[in-house]
Structure formats: C-alpha cells, structure tokens
Amino acid sequence: MFDVIIVGGSYAGLAAALQLGRARRSVLVVDAGLRRNRFAASSHGFLGQDGQAPQAISAKGRAEVSAYPSVRWLEATAGQVRAVGDGFALRAGGEEHASRRLILATGVVDELPAVEGLTERWGKTVFHCPYCHGYELGEGRRLAVLATGPHAFHQAVLISDWTAPGLTTLLLHDAYEPDDAELRTFAARGIRIERARVARVGGEAPQLDVRFSDGRELTFDGLFISSRTHVPGSFAEQLGCELAQSPVGAFYQTDETKETTVPGVFACGDAALPFGSVTFAVADGARAGFGAHRSLLFPRAEH
C-alpha cells in the first residue's frame, strides 16, 4: 500500500513526487514517457532551465526524485482504476497497485486540425504557444495563425505582438468568422486575414509553405495553432471526477489544494489547468504534492 500513486512522471508529476519523497512518504510514479513537448528540441521560459532540451529537464527531475528512497518508478501506462475503501487500486504494468491517495498528472493530448503536413512540423515550425517559441523565431518574422475556433481572435492579437505590423496573417480556415469590432482590431494591429481554406502545409524549417484550396501559396517563418486538447485515459469517468472547460478542451476541476471533486484524488499540470507551461506544471505539481500530503494528516476541510 503506497501513500500516493502519481499517474504521469513529467514536470507536474515529478514536482509532486519531489515534495512527497521529501516528506518520506511512499510514492509510486507510473509514467508512459509521452511528454507533451517531446516534439520540440528546446524548452523556453522555465527559470533556470531556459533553452534546455525538454528531455534534459525531465531527466534531471527524475534523477532528483529517484534519489529519495521512498519513491518508486514504474514505466507503464496506467489503465483501470477503482476506489477501494478509503483508497484506490490502479492497474499498471500487469499488476494492481494500492494507495491512499491518487495524483493525476497525465498532461493533455493535442489534437491538430486535419491538414496535411502539420503533424510532422509540430514543435519545429508549427507551435501552440508564443511565450514558448515566439522569441526564437526572431524579430520581424512572417507569422501565421491557423484558426480552430473563436479564440483565434485573441491568439492572432497575441501572436502579432511578436512581430511587426503587417506580418501576422490569420488563416480563418472556416473555423470562425470575425465580427466588425474584431475586424477593426485586426486592421489597427496590421493583422491580415486569409479566408481560403488551408489545403496543406509544406517546406523545410526554418520556412513553412501554406498551400490554399484555391491553389495560392504563402510562405511563413512560423505557424501557431491553438490546438484542441483532451485529458488522456478515462480516469475522470472511472472515478467520477468533474471536468472544467477551457476554450480548447476539458481539464480536471480542482480546488486550491489541487484536490478534484472526488476526495483523495488530486490532479495537476496541464491536466488540471486551462493553459499549460512547464513552469505552471511544476508549480501545480508542487501544490498537489503538498495537498495530497496534508490530506493524509488533516480532515478534508482543513488540509
């Protein structure tokens, strides 16, 4: 019987495990190793690790966490979970593991629009976050935003701040229609609009060619997509955790201690935030570690 099982051993799960290992609590981390940013060569904006390879940051974290003797690691995909008495039983690696608390740090999975050529360029010339990759594209670059819904308005305005007026193009792709006020904002910020559907993207980094359904082609230095996301697995359904909705997808609803709507089940990182980054995931994971630990000592209302 572990004190805590953590599903997901990336930034959020590692940060939770670190707090619990330091409290000498027994922890099992179950991790399938599919970090969301595994497609990118470098990670930006995380203080002290700016520009490091995503894999290097998580490997260092794993080494730190594994140095605590009460932390065990299992490379596996967790599937079935059920409540047993005051705790939980989780199937992973062909065995059932029991714990008093559960932390879901599974991250989210990106769903890219079905446009040929996007997947291969994800994390290279196609990105989701300007704070992560905008600076590296350089000044005065030609940036495009592929709309996936009405939130493309905010994304286009945001992205345009990383380049000069006239160099941001919003590709509507039938995903949304700006209203008059939005069109005035676009005009004021020098954001161009393309109404033709995108047929495919091509070209080799550092350039990206966008081919439209009417046969025209435009070349950009970077394309941003606010991808739709989902939380992987069916833990919410199996346990009864309520989900909250962001403009791009669902995430676990949690309180300030990172406990979900099911007592004893905590969630953190991208899986429990409306918007993710490595920094947010680490901070959120630390909160979940504190929260799960304190819940072992204090009644629900006090931890």
Query: In the complex with ligand FAD, which residue's Cβ is closer, 23 or 132?
Result: 132
State yes or no: residue 8 binds Mg ion (CB under 5 A).
yes
* Window 127-166: contact mask with ligand FAD (x via CB under 6 A): -xx--x----------------------------------
Largest CA distance in the chain: 65
State yes or no: residue 123 binds ligand FAD (CB under 6 A).
yes
From the list ligand FAD, Mg ion, none, pick the one residue 172 interacts with, judged by a Cβ distance below 5 to 8 Å according to partner type.
none
State yes or no: residue 238 binds ligand FAD (CB under 6 A).
no
Options 48-56, 105-113, 236-244, 292-300: segment touching Mg ion (CB under 5 A): 105-113
Query: In the complex with ligand FAD, which residue's Cβ is closer, 109 or 183?
Result: 109
* Window 258-287: contact mask with Mg ion (x via CB under 5 A): -----------x------------------
Distance CA 169, CA 191 (A): 6
State yes or no: residue 208 binds ligand FAD (CB under 6 A).
no
6, 284 contact by CB (below 8 A): no
Region for residue 8 given its phi and psi (left: phi exceeds 0; alpha: psi -120 to 50; beta: otherwise) = left
* Window 2-21: contact mask with ligand FAD (x via CB under 6 A): -----xxxxxxx--------
- Tell me how far CA of residue 240 lies from CA of 84, 236, 255, in angstroms: 14, 5, 16
- Tell me how far CA of residue 189 lies from CA of 88, 157, 170, 224, 229, in angstroms: 53, 8, 12, 17, 29
State yes or no: residue 43 binds ligand FAD (CB under 6 A).
yes
User: Interaction with ligand FAD in 80-119: which residues (CB under 6 A)?
Assistant: 105-107, 110
- Tell me how far CA of residue 234 lies from CA of 18, 72, 238, 246, in angstroms: 26, 24, 6, 19
19-26 contact pairs (CB < 8 A, 24+): 19/286, 19/289, 19/290, 19/293, 20/70, 20/71, 20/289, 20/292, 20/293, 21/65, 21/68, 21/70, 21/71, 22/68, 23/293, 24/68, 24/70, 25/70, 25/293, 25/296, 26/1, 26/2, 26/70, 26/72
State yes or no: residue 12 binds Mg ion (CB under 5 A).
yes
From the list ligand FAD, Mg ion, none, pick the one residue 277 interacts with, judged by a Cβ distance below 5 to 8 Å according to partner type.
ligand FAD
Query: In the complex with ligand FAD, which residue's Cβ is closer, 130 or 264?
Result: 130
State yes or no: residue 148 binds Mg ion (CB under 5 A).
no
Distance CA 272, CA 175 (A): 26
Q: Which positions lie near Mg ion, rule CB under 5 A? A: 8, 10, 12-13, 105, 269
Q: Which positions lie near ligand FAD, rule CB under 6 A? A: 7-13, 30-37, 39-40, 43-46, 77-78, 105-107, 110, 122-123, 128-129, 132, 232-233, 269-271, 276-279, 281
